[in-house]
Amino acid sequence: MTRIYTDDDADPKALTGTVAILGYGSQGRAHARNLRDSGHDVIVGARRGGKAWARAEQDGFEVVETREAAKRARFTALLTPDMTHREVYAQIEPEMDAGDTLMVAHGFSIHYGQIKPRADLDVVLVAPKGPGDLVRREFEIGRGVPSLFAVQQDHSGKARDKALAYCRANGGTAGGAIETSFAEETETDLFGEQAVLCGGASELVTAGYETLVEAGYQPEIAYFECMHELKLIVDLMYEGGLARMHDFISETAKYGDLVSGPRVINAETRQRMREVLSDIQDGSFARDWVLENQAGKPKYDAMLRADLNQNIEKTGARLRERMAWLQPGANAGQSAE
């Protein structure tokens, strides 16, 4: 059985010196504030005059140029988007001393060789399994979001201890931390996004909607059945797995689940999933994505425009205008309990 690490397994003293947070987006902002509240000396590295610089200053952090942050820190968390890692690492590597630690929250750039950290650095991964806002909220109420951690290079002999200490400072061991590898974290994360969470789910929803509309049903009714109500089912599964979903849906829905689900997700579907996984494992997907970025993302932009121009999006936008609870500020003033 996989071991789950808790606060008792992490030594806060293993994370010493200044921690630099590079990238002040959703995760970066949450990590910076959590580590500061855990008693660590945190500085933020950003582009002078940018939005990240201003926001970090508003949050009370000392903000310096990216190179300066890496120079002053003993532990540098690289939390900028994956495709920026090569450029950012090229800036900070000359400023890092032997024995310093480079941390990422997703292993893409290192696993696929976009950056090749110096051999005299510790290289670790700490990946909370939730968005930054949730990571911060759970920390503030004394809980935490489960996290993954891994070690790629252990020059100092203490890389694992430092990764666990960072997990603890960010609330990860309160939520429960699981040890993994850069390969496992990267490949499973990409597969989940592509085959299930984003690619798989969006294509399934769209195909269901189009099947009903092509059969003559009203687009609005198809939207409710295939897109809108998906949240109800996902929430149940998130809260308690398949068992909770089955507890709250009708007997008719359960029977339909059991007899028709395997007709949609069948042996052919699973083979397609294996092909997606193979492209991830052999580096094909990473190579194509890197090349697409280097070319200015023309195919990506065209596919995204087409995706957002589908009929289901137009139908949904019109219906969501009537859903007051989805409008900005709709939940203002409500209790956060």
To the query of whether residue 246 is one of the catalytic residues in this protein, the response is no
Reduced DSSP (H G I as helix, E B as strand, rest coil) percent helix, strand, coil of the chain, to 5: 60, 10, 30
**Does 120 count as an annotated binding residue?**
no
Residue 328: per-residue pLDDT? 78
- For the cut 70, the answer to whether the pLDDT of residue 337 exceeds it is no
**Does 279 count as an annotated binding residue?**
no
Of the candidates 31, 85, 106, 111, the residue annotated as catalytic is: 106
pLDDT in tens, 204-232: 999 999 999 999 999 999 999 999 999 99
**Does 137 count as an annotated binding residue?**
no
Amino acid identity for residue 278 in this structure = S
**Does 25 count as an annotated binding residue?**
yes
**Does 202 count as an annotated binding residue?**
no
pLDDT in tens, 256-300: 999 999 999 999 999 999 999 999 999 999 999 999 999 999 999
pLDDT in tens, 69-106: 999 999 999 999 999 999 999 999 999 999 999 999 99
Q: Which of 83, 132, 73 is nearest to 103 (CA)?
A: 73
**Does 26 count as an annotated binding residue?**
yes
Residues of each domain in the chain carrying CATH 3.40.50.720: 4-180
CB 36 within 8 A of CB 77: no
What pTM, to 2 d.p., does this model score? 0.93
Phi, psi of 34 (to 5 degrees): -65, -45
Q: Read off the pLDDT band of 327 (50, 70, 90).
A: confident
**Does 24 count as an annotated binding residue?**
yes
Q: How far out from the chain centre does Cα 145 lie?
A: 12
Architecture in CATH for domain 4-180: 3-Layer(aba) Sandwich (3.40)
Angstrom distance (rounded) from CA 115 to CA 104: 11
Percent of residues, the chain, with pLDDT higher than 70: 98
